[in-house]
Structure 1
Amino acid sequence: MKRNGQKIITVLIFMFIVSIIGFNLYSKYYKFAIVEIDAGNVYSEEYLGKIYFFYDEEYYDFNGLARFDSLQLRGRIPVGTRIGTVASESFNFSEDSTEELTPNIDAETQRLRLLGNNSIIKTPLINKQNMKKKIGKLFDNDYKNNSELYSKTAGYFYDSLDGYEEIFDLNLLNSFELSDFKLPSQVKENIKVLKNSFKIVNNNIYYAIIQLSDPKSIPEKGDKVSIKVDEESVITGEILDLTKSDKDMLIKAVFNSGYDLIENTRILESSVILDKKMSYQLPSSSVFEKDGIQMVMKVNRSGYVESVPVEVIKDDGNKTYVSAGIDGQIKVNEESVNTLRAYDEVIIRPNRVKIGDAVR
């Protein structure tokens, strides 16, 4: 009997120890299971978009006015670079000239055909009188036959025009409407050009209007936007403005680098990356909703459970991305409230705990 009593006591003690261990294991690895979030990453979403580029370009069309013989330069040139010669036997480029210009039918036919080949519905024509004045300024209105021509600005030099110069004019950037044009993506090998002309493009700054269909992310002014030129090349700019319709979103952006990657491309269909604010990745099971607000349970510095609101960026099945906010705060019902911070400990199964539970 005595031995049996000792066995029972031993079994009870063993069961007590096992239960304590089991409870601790349950608490640590199930009930109070936590995940420590990292320092955060910039979350981004990628969409297929259509991009229309606008350049700061100075262009000259000599058709119907004179003959321009280019030196066929390539790439960026500085101010004062000799770029070719202009020959005319009997033409006065002076701004004071009142001579009526007779359109060169062959030149205009070529230009119209160029615009048609590049699939532009609108067919604006360069105002020859205005172009005459522009060319006159190249010579300071002191033209001589077979005059040498030097660049007035620095930038990328091209000895032809593509017909888009007037359409993608910087002055029209704010009033540009996609409905006015039939603008397919460009295949560089098939682009037609207008000779007897040239332009110099400022490669230090250029703009783009980006058309996205039904994007899930809505960026803000000042956010970054990136365009994949190809699999290895990306250009990144800043959003200046955006408009949203039922189906599309138009983003106006400015770029200060990467011109050599697109080099005079007008229309591009490619991947567009919208950069969100810093974000944290959490198990989807850790996020729950209370009174219409997304929440998580976290362990505070004192070791107790407390609830924290979060802004969900994307629910990707088993993973959920939440915003890191600005200085650790997000907007909830128009009020700034504290949210998660880097290295916070988040409860994986919030339905198993309650506010105030002691984790350690």
Structure 2
Amino acid sequence: MKIMPISMPKDIDKYFFNRIKDINMINTQLSTLKFDIPPQMLITGYRGVGKTFLLRKILKDQGNNILTVFLDISEIMGRQKGKLTEEKVLKALLNEINNAISQNQQSYKKWISKITSNIKKLELKNYDFSDNIDVLDIPLPVIKDNYDKLSKFVMELPQKIVDSSDEIDGFIIVIDEFQLLKNIEKPDAFFWLMRSYTQKQFNVGYIFTGSVSKTSDIINMINGQEGAFGGRLIQINIEPFTFDETKRYIDEKSNNLKFTDNGFKRFYACTRGIPLYINSLSSILPNNVVCDEDIIKQTLKLNIDQVAMMWIYIWGRLSQGEKDFIVYLLENDGANRETLEAQLDYSKSSISRFIDSLSNQGIIEFNRDKKFVLSDKMLQLWLKIKFETNGFYPL
């Protein structure tokens, strides 16, 4: 039986489809590591389009001469109950660097004494050893008074590992859901910190990735002309599958799903070629009948929570003001800033905060008509169906 997973599978190759162009484009940038030219990239795209899946595949396929790290900021933020700090991010990065070198036993043995020595040098004062992060079986303390030394040690470590080994040509570090770094106290300073070290390294590539609007302030903060990387990050947007790609994907990966011509057009209109939605909707469609337009509509209406499950989670994290903002855009097919300030019962500063937050989460975008609109059709559909069914929007 064929399965179209809606979460990250263990066997990436078994479920991976297409993306040859994206893989070649990203690998071309990464190949400069061996020429002492550090690639720096910003990968964006809609939620569920497969950015994480794609990057996991690319990292997995790197040769033994390239060490890789995948740092998920959402996981760190979840463990810290939303209280994200620079120290937490650096310690998590150090832990992942340790995991990376542990895969290469020769390098690992070589670096045990060096890393242990450097960690001990961090021990100055005011330590709390209860943080449950271990590096080389040494509890890494909560650093209270020497952030400078911690950041210097962590940020310089990947290049030093490469320099110390004839077998290692480079280090690739992926920072997933990077937009959540906006939640630390001074995100712009943290980006400048990273930039200050990356410009002095020649064999360490950074890939920042996240589901953010192209017009969000976090994009400008990291890669705008006045941002930390000043436009130096190669920006690549991962697009949804085309109509034909979606058709081939269904034929190859589904459990014998069949459609009428209009049925498939409706299927594509609902999923927009986003793999997460394709897989979710495919999992609830009958595979023993030819699905027409009515079957697609009815199945989606009755099972919208299953298809739009990620929005249930995201909606629950939003403030009431952000929810009111989204509903207003939904009911009015978007709005400009002047209209929002006139119609919403919130202050101008609150509206600015909503715009920044929702843009950085990839929930709204600024379109060509100079209006703020919802960026995801599935979110719109979920809200409309819940209102039609219950008489009110989700709380």
Q: Could you state the TM-score of these two structures normalised by the residue count of structure 2?
A: 0.22
Q: Which has the higher contact order (CA 8 A, sep 6+)?
A: 1
Task: Compare CA radii of gyration and give the structure with the larger one.
Answer: 1
Considering fraction of residues, name the structure with more helix.
2
